[in-house]
Structure 1
Amino acid sequence: MLSSLNLQVSIAENGQVAVEMIKAQAFDIVLMDIQMPVMDGYSATKYIRKLSQFNALPIIAMTANVMKEDLQKCQSAGMNGHIGKPINFNQMAETIRNHLYKQSEPTDPVALQTEAQLDKGKEVKNDEQIEIAGVDVERAIKRLGGNDKAFWSIIKKFARNQIEETINLNQALVIGDLEHAERIAHSLKGASANLCMDDLSKRAAEIEKAIGSGEQVELEQVEDLTEFLRKLHKQLSELNQEDTPLIKRTNVVSLKVTKEDFIQLEALLLSCDTQSVEQVRELAANHKLDETTSERLIDLIEDFEFEEAAKVVAHLLEKSA
């Protein structure tokens, strides 16, 4: 994602490594993950701020905790701002742009090109927007960094799979398998929220809450979800969207695969971020993943099985170490 903004990116495995990298070479901005092994983001930032030569270095927190007290803790440690998780590509681009160029306007060609790339994160397409009942299409595509092809691929598979899942939910309630029913409702709640389907997510959350508290769930509630998903699937099937970009089919893997190649992908998966599918495609296109592994990862991500996908990547990290 950062490379697409014309930024040169260096990745640190933990806070201690980040400190050593910053001391060894010049950086224009630091995106500091709060949850890191060895030395966390707070400690790393405090250490960096003790070194006067880095007083003006922008350090931006990367955190899922955005409560007021969490952000105050980031500020107290010496951070200049934050980027929330799951990452919204456009908001991330805007935050980086503001901190890179807030003191003076860039004048050299490379800096101007970088700013132009960052500005793309703010663009909203003026083309005729396709409207899908119950889906905030524009917001969902923005979450994927404007990658509409990835969005249409994911939501089509989501609609098809969740029809079956809501039928399974109905059956689980009938036979009294409440644990399975609650798990299905929880998964639907999260997956639909990820795709900016707020009403569907809310209804699934209500069912999950009712099951968890021992309340009666009317089967009509679940049947309504199934009917909504059938209509969604029908509407999506009638759209003439371009096919999702194909991965270049090859089982050849580059000998220059390193641990850094998979760290960013793992972070996206742990954040349950659908942008991870594009990262997989990029790794496959650069021969960092073989065909079988890349297709398996894409299937897991599009099924919102982020935990299973993260296990696959963890194995890849072990092999690349």
Structure 2
Amino acid sequence: MRLKSTAAATLTSVALLLGSASLAQAAPTDLPSVEQSDFSDPSSLIALINPTTQLSPEDYVPENLVTVPGSSDKLRADAAAAVEQLIADARAAGHPIKLISAYRSYNRQATLFAKYQNQYGTAYAERISARPGTSEHQLGLAADVGYSSGKCQLHACFGDTAAGLWVAKHAVDYGLIIRYPEGEEATTGYKYEPWHVRYIGTEHAQAMEASKVSTFEEYIDLLKGQAKEDTSAEDAEKAGKKSESSKSAEPKKEKAKQEESTTTRQKSSENSSIDDLLVLRFLPPFRDWSFGF
């Protein structure tokens, strides 16, 4: 992966900000449902990592890494199966490709970056390598593929080869995307890399293709917009249920009050009758009432 300069990172944020309004309008209505935490959780298939978004924790190690058959490289299980099938089908279609690179740990990436930094200086090192903690390879979901012969290996010309064109066309069938498309450096922060594929799952890969956006950053922006709308709708629904519950409780409270009032009146009447009887008990006999004063 080749990282652009710090200025490109700034352009990434600006481009996303300016495009957010139009993206929201263009968002399809059938995007997969996601949680807000999926965007930052490194174990999520849609975790976003780029020059301005670092892994947390920065030394994250995937739990289910497996060796991709036919290589010594590792990926998370689902990604490994997808890349293995992609390579097998490409070969069956007459395009002899292989896996060049897959999972790289934080320490491995730190060693590579330090090597390039010492050899070429920081500015150039950032153009050809990611800083540790900002590489998609650390997620265990990214892979670099290329011709078995080494033709155009890790070069932009791979995108113009028969194998490169086949990978770009069929990657979505395996839940993969070309992570750094041509002409999108300002958004992704990286140069065009037709050899770098990222696993996001078939559902998301197909939804991203259907949404007509070019980059994963734009797709994430669409998902975030939908997740926000879903949360707002859910909050409104909860508020509505709470209001209905309160309304349904009001008749019950009123009925209880009426019953309490009736009981009070009955008790008051009973007490009044008792008092009257007590008074009558101590009055003189009826026949004495005829005498005046």
Q: TM-score range by the shorter chain?
A: under 0.3
Work out which of the two has the higher radius of gyration on C-alpha atoms and give 1 or 2: 2
Structure number with the higher strand fraction is: 2
Higher relative contact order (CA 8 A, sep 6+): 2
Normalising by structure 2, what TM-score? 0.22
Normalising by structure 1, what TM-score? 0.21
